[in-house]
Structure 1
Amino acid sequence: MSDGLKSLIDILTLEKIDENIYRGQSEATDWGRVYGGQVIAQALSAAAQQVDPERHIHSFHCYFLRPGNPDYPIIFEVESNLDAGTISNRRVKAVQRGQTIFFMTSSFQLNIESFDHQSEMPVVPPPDDLPQELELREEDLRFAPEEWLPKFNAVRAIDFRAVNYYDLKKPYKGPATKQIWMRPFGSLPNNPCIHNYMLAYASDFFFLATASQPHKVSFLTEDMRMATIDHSMWFHRPFDFNDWLLYDMDSPSASNGRGFVRGKIYDRAGRLVASSTQEGIMRKKRGS
């Protein structure tokens, strides 16, 4: 296991401080922001600890209300909304210094046999034929605005390999699509909950940037403001994040200062294991 992955797992491991209440830490940075994927993963971890382990996450929906500050712990309060039949529902509120910064509603289900169909996995080059994102992003780290630097911590824990690399410093007008292979640098423990929240963590990393590509901008573009408003995921089938997963993303719309993106996540066998959506602020800063 790489140092980056070990550090990330430690950060995503919550401390139980009371019944239904957990405390989480953030990566120590001087940049004043917490990566959204971290808060998503921690909230999902908190919710899962308050559910029968036979019930597995099948969806969550969350909103980011305020930016998180890495200098202070985040308190996660879990509320039980429902335990009935095969479904359990939990609501998680993330609080810093008395203010709610984020909330998530998550749903868990017992495994059942039923109908089954899925979309087909796109044909793309295998990950072994593609360069590591970490190698390609080294120069980006020197140019990134401070509020976005925490996002780059993910590439030290997870091996991302883009099918079509998009240079953030030299954006061009391209299609609103992106395809990326991903897996951790090292092996995750044999615990489905860890694999679920690690995938949730990774799902936020490149997502909103897909909407900016048709406009010849990126979050490194001067005077651009990009920030996540909401993020949702659906978990369709069991998966092993120790093997490669393909994240197939597209943006069908950008309007009124917001970008909307969708994602499908496949394993190497072509099974659709998860889907995601996100909407975020995407506009020039006021006065620019």
Structure 2
Amino acid sequence: MQNTTNELNHLLTYFDLENLEENLFRGQSLDIGTGRIFGGQALSQALKAAYQTTKDQQVHSLHAYFLREGDCNKPVIYQVERARDGRTFSNRRVSAIQNGKPILILSASFQRHESGLEHQKDMPDVPKPDDLTEKTLIPGDKIKHLSPRMRRTLTTQGPFEFRFVDDVDPFDSEPKQPIKRIWFKARYPLEADQACHRTLLTFVSDFHLVSTATLPHGISYLDPRLQFASLDHAMWFHRPFQIDDWLLYDCDSPSASEARGFATGHVFDIHGKLVASTAQQGLMRLWDEAK
């Protein structure tokens, strides 16, 4: 299944969970270069485990808490509780377990398709992806100051292409508005399996979101004085979409307080349809230089 020239196929192998017994699955861990399990991996694998226990329904919302740091050198066990099976809605609770302890808990609700009343907020007026170019997240003159691990993480071309509406330099100490807008898509075409597209969006939604809360403070999420970690994550899926076509991630941070940053995101397709919304809170603890 894995094609070494296709990073997307490589990522998809991590969603081929091993079925240990009923409601119990095992997923292999992906090292994106940080030395710990990427939150998007735990989120998306937990969602995939929940999908394995449903039929003819699509996830419409999920809510998760990150409880412990995960070890990317070990697999993760996903235990699914079938909380409810209804004619239209089903609910699942998933515990992601390493070393006998949960590292993440997730609740997800699934729904059979039905039509209803519709409205949505407008997509912001921003340049289209064809008017932008893909750039490295870190300016070339600053890459050399990164550790080898972070250099690999931030400069390696992954399965998704990102095009930033505004140039973002994580080391820029100038306070900015807490807004970040990014076009993204999978680099390779996918089959039209909506469950796969929603699982991949869950994975990629953990990129760039809560770091928006650092922008008004002129502090980089890469600054060693900053203790920065995701605490929770929520998503709502509004309409079908294709993640191998351009999507706009419109991120905003309305608040930071009590050592926590809060951010929300809206995902629009290239035609301006609002397809998903996100919310995330993260630890933002700034230590003094002396510490």
Q: Which of 5, 11, 14 lines up with 1:11 in the alignment? A: 14
How far apart, in 1, do the equivalents of 2:8 and 2:262 lie?
A: 29
**Match for residue 47 of structure 1?**
50
1:71 is matched with which residue? 73
Alignment gaps of 5+ in structure 2: none
Residue 156 of structure 1, CA deviation: 0.8
- Other-structure match for 1:159: 161
Matches within 5 A, 1:1-288: 2-28=5-31, 31-52=34-55, 54-133=56-135, 135-137=136-138, 139=140, 143-144=145-146, 152=154, 156-285=158-287, 288=291
Deviations 1:178-225 (A, max 9, x none): 100010111123211110011011111001110000000111123111
Which stretch of structure 1 is more off in the superposition, 171-180 or 185-194?
185-194
Determine if contact 1:88/1:108 at 8 Å carries over to the other structure: yes
Higher mean alpha-carbon deviation, 170-179 vs 252-261, is at: 170-179
Q: How many pairs does the alignment contain?
A: 286
Q: What is the CA–CA distance in structure 2 between the aligned matches of 1:137 and 1:169, rounded to whole Å? A: 8
Shift of 1:28: 4.2
Distance 2:254 2:153 in 1: 24
Percent identity, please. 40
* Cα pair distance change 1:31/1:259, threshold 3 Å: closer
Check 1:39–1:198 CA distance in 2 against 1; reply closer, same or farther (3 A cut): same
TM-score normalised by L of structure 1: 0.92
Q: Which runs of 5+ in 1 are unaligned?
A: none
The structure in which a higher percent of residues are helix is: 1
Further displaced range: 100-109 or 152-161? 152-161
TM-score (norm 2): 0.91
User: Cα–Cα, structure 1 residues 148 and 74, in superposed 2: closer, same or farther, change >3 Å?
Assistant: farther
Distance 2:58 2:32 in 1: 33
Change (3 A) 1:32 1:188: same
Residue 136 of structure 1: how far off its partner (Å): 4.0
| Distance of 1:56 and 1:151 partners within structure 2 | 32
Distance (Å, rounded) in 1 between the aligned partners of 2:30 and 2:113: 35
